[in-house]
Chains A and B, each alone.
Chain A
Amino acid sequence: MVCTALQMDYLKPELAFARGVVLTGVEEPVTIPDQFRADILLLLPRLRRFAFSLTRSGPDADDLLQDACISALANWQQYDAAQPFDRWMFRIVRNSWISEIRKRKVRLGEGNVPAEDASELQTEQVADVSLEVKDVMGEVAHLPQELSQPLLLVCAEGYSYQETADLLDVPKGTVMSRIHRARKLLMVQLKEEKGA
């Protein structure tokens, strides 16, 4: 295995041999900027929230967050500083989740899964919400994932409808209708609570 400059970031020369890596001696030393790590750390609470909204499971959200952060660090040179960093990281979280879903479906013997099928694991009405999800997500726990995600991005993250559509790979009109459906469902829920 020949180590590229990107991969070298994680390797001390003395450890490279032990890990089966051959350094060619011509690579330029490249290290991950400290500020890049600090920026990821600052985003962690928001990334964890987004990860939980995708996975609806604490352990899965933690695994997804870990995978996404490692992926971001490994690809830090691909980040275009002219773009918002949080958007780039959210995209990585989502792509990592799609990748995980594909792996799970393959493991279940369902073969390779196209992206459009893998993008949302739970798109139907959430009939049975776990206590953990209720605990973490509060009033929005009962919203189906397909509704809570655009609401999260627009309402809490300040995304525009177009930015949300780009991230979730759905048309802008779909984002608009899903956000409205989410609020209407919450309204019904609130009325029921008030009536109770």
Chain B
Amino acid sequence: MTDISVKLSAYLDGELDEDEARLIEAQLADDPLLQQELDELVEANSIALLSFENMLHEPIELSVAQSIKTADETDAIPDFEADVTANERKVIDGVFDQPSVKRQRDADQQQLAVRSPLWRSMAASLILFLLGGAGGYTLHKEMFAGGAPVEIAAVEKRGWLKEIADYHAVYSTEERHLVEVRGDKKEHLTNWLVKKTGASFQVPDLSGLGYVFEGGRLLVADGRPVAQLIYRDKDATVVALCIQKMPAGMFSDKSKDQIGAADMKKNTIKDFDFFSWASGAVHYVVVGPNGKTELEKIALEAARHI
């Protein structure tokens, strides 16, 4: 393993100082093999990131959460009804009301009528945690038996768009590293991304709208793989089409031929506009700069030809 090879990883991680980074960039410009190695390192990194993200969805023993909650037995008992909905109460009860805990709580409730604002703020934090609002964590489906699927969908949707916005802010300004696999390797790219995401698609041709297909990359959002197809127009404006298979159990009755303007949902996050839709078991979103008027046209064109 050469020194320059090791430094490529450090370059990727932003661990080189400015002079070293400039040197590496000059070498990358002159050495296609080195550039290829960097591309492969980026791909390996994406795969590792995906694996690590998936690990966040491993179930956690209830006893751990219980021990954190009950370690101080002098705590007052929260009045959940005052601040949470019935569905949220079910979620909390489903996780924390093991028989022994419930017995203790019932006994304490008879003795204590104290309301604690701190406890209520903690309950709110717990709900965020339980609904997957932080740390990318989502509960397993069995915890939601009779629970709140609407809330899950809302949280996941917000999470996926926000993460796409973060990625777009980083990658859309890249010149040399805009994509992981270039557009001239479309077949290889498509096969790879279809395999990784589990969502079947073909690369839409947007040249009629003035956008050239530059290539794509694998992303991770909400702990699940995302195929990102990237296009650029003559003004170097970058738009991306992102494709993600929905969680098991979620499905849209609309086929791609039925998608119209009424099915498009517009969002604006971090100076980017999003047009998203769902078809079958797949979510799609087109993202581009805020105020780009043709973005909806691009989304409709993509929906028809994906």
Say yes or no for B126: interface residue by CB 8 A criterion: yes
A144 to B60 CA separation, bound complex (whole angstroms):
24
A155: B residues at CB distance < 8 A? 45, 48-49, 52
How far apart are B105's CB and chain A's nearest CB, in angstroms?
Answer: 14
Within 8 A of A (CB), among B211-266: none
Contact between B10 and A42, CB atoms less than 8 A apart: no
Within 8 A of B (CB), among A15-45: 15, 31-35, 37-38, 40-45
A15: B residues at CB distance < 8 A? 73
A136 to B59 CA separation, bound complex (whole angstroms):
11
18 further contact pairs, Cβ within 8 A, besides A62-B63, A66-B64, A141-B51: A12-B74, A31-B74, A34-B75, A35-B121, A42-B129, A45-B60, A46-B135, A48-B55, A70-B71, A136-B55, A138-B54, A139-B51, A155-B49, A179-B13, A180-B1, A180-B5, A183-B44, A190-B47
A117-146 interface bits toward B, Cβ cutoff 8 Å, 1 = contact, 0 = none: 000000000000000000011111100000
How far apart are B137's CB and chain A's nearest CB, in angstroms?
Answer: 4
A/B pair count, beta carbons within 8 Å: 160
Of chain A, the residue at the smallest CB distance from B78 is A34
Contact between B125 and A62, CB atoms less than 8 A apart: no
Contact between B72 and A10, CB atoms less than 8 A apart: yes
Say yes or no for B110: interface residue by CB 8 A criterion: no
A44 to B55 CA separation, bound complex (whole angstroms):
12
How far apart are B158's CB and chain A's nearest CB, in angstroms?
Answer: 17
Interface residues of A, count at CB 8 A: 55
Contact between A42 and B134, CB atoms less than 8 A apart: yes
Judged by DSSP, the binding face of A is: helix
Contact between B122 and A176, CB atoms less than 8 A apart: no
Say yes or no for B9: interface residue by CB 8 A criterion: yes
Say yes or no for B160: interface residue by CB 8 A criterion: no
A139 to B47 CA separation, bound complex (whole angstroms):
7
Say yes or no for A182: interface residue by CB 8 A criterion: yes
Q: Which of A10, A52, A183 contacts B58 (CB 8 A)?
A: A52
- Beyond A48-B60, A139-B48, A190-B44, whether A12 also contacts B68 by CB under 8 A is no
- Beyond A34-B122, A69-B68, A180-B9, whether A140 also contacts B48 by CB under 8 A is yes
